[in-house]
Amino acid sequence: MELNDIKILLVDDETDVLDFMKYNLEKEGFWVYTAQNGAEGIQMAKKVNPHLIILDLMMPKMDGIETCRLLRSLPEFKSTLITFLTARDEDYSQIAGFEVGADDYITKPIKPRVFTSRIRALLRRLETEAQAEIITAGDLQIDRERYLVIKDKKEISFPRKEFELLSLLASKPGRVFKREEILSKVWGNDTIVGDRTIDVHIRKLREKLGDDYFKTIKGIGYKFDA
């Protein structure tokens, strides 16, 4: 997908912040739309169907948490990238954001180059989203639209990151995915996660699907064996 095809919706009640983000993202070649509160943001999202929505956490009338929750309840925005932009960095607010379906968290104030770098890292996930909605790998069917895995005619639900990791590996059976590539495509380069994060998620996938699907390539990464 070309940059000039990507639509980004900015939702913030501060005009100067909106202007800052809009200016820097348009310089990068994105289509940018704005709204100044949560309710307005939802209406604009329905109108333009953006690839990425950036929500301020603290807004009057409807805050970012409630806006995100309502967006995720609508089928058309189930897989849309959503990140919060906020001056608050308390752990509880980040947890609340992720619990309602946010993909990332950006803390204000932020420098222009850092901001656009974070946005590019988020948008790289669209490469994975652009793959076929249903992946058939061995005796598994991976339904990307419903976030479901079907094995032995039984549906298995996974948390978002476990599903994205499985979907990435299964998209090219036999190919070795390096750890750096996995972190970039599933978590984003600028999301701070521990080195053990991938290992923990692989362990959880093995617990649910069995050991045979996932091969560890020592010192390099993982591959999916169908």
Residue-wise pLDDT tens digits, 15-66: 999 999 999 999 999 999 999 999 999 999 999 999 999 999 888 889 999 9
- What's residue 78's pLDDT? 79
- What's residue 129's pLDDT? 57
Q: Cα–Cα distance between 83 and 9 in angstroms, integer? A: 11
Is residue 224 pLDDT above 70, yes or no?
yes
Question: Order of strands, edge to edge, in the sheet holding 134-137?
Answer: 134-137, 140-143, 148-151, 154-157
- What's residue 91's pLDDT? 58
For the chain, domain boundaries: 3-123, 131-224
Start-to-end CA span in the chain (Å): 28
Q: Tokens for 71?
A: 């967006």
| Arithmetic mean of pLDDT, 197-205 | 91
Closest of 122, 148, 143 to residue 133, by C-alpha: 143
CA 220 to chain centre: 24
Closest of 101, 62, 70, 72 to residue 84, by C-alpha: 101
Average pLDDT over the chain, rounded to whole?
A: 85
The sign one gets for the Cα dihedral 209, 193, 29, 177 is negative
Domain boundaries 131-224, corresponding CATH code: 1.10.10.10
Task: Select the more confidently predicted residue: 92 or 160.
Answer: 160
Superfamily of domain 3-123: Response regulator (3.40.50.2300)
Q: How many other CB atoms are found less than 10 A from the CB of residue 221?
A: 19
Token pair 């919706």 is at which residue?
A: 9
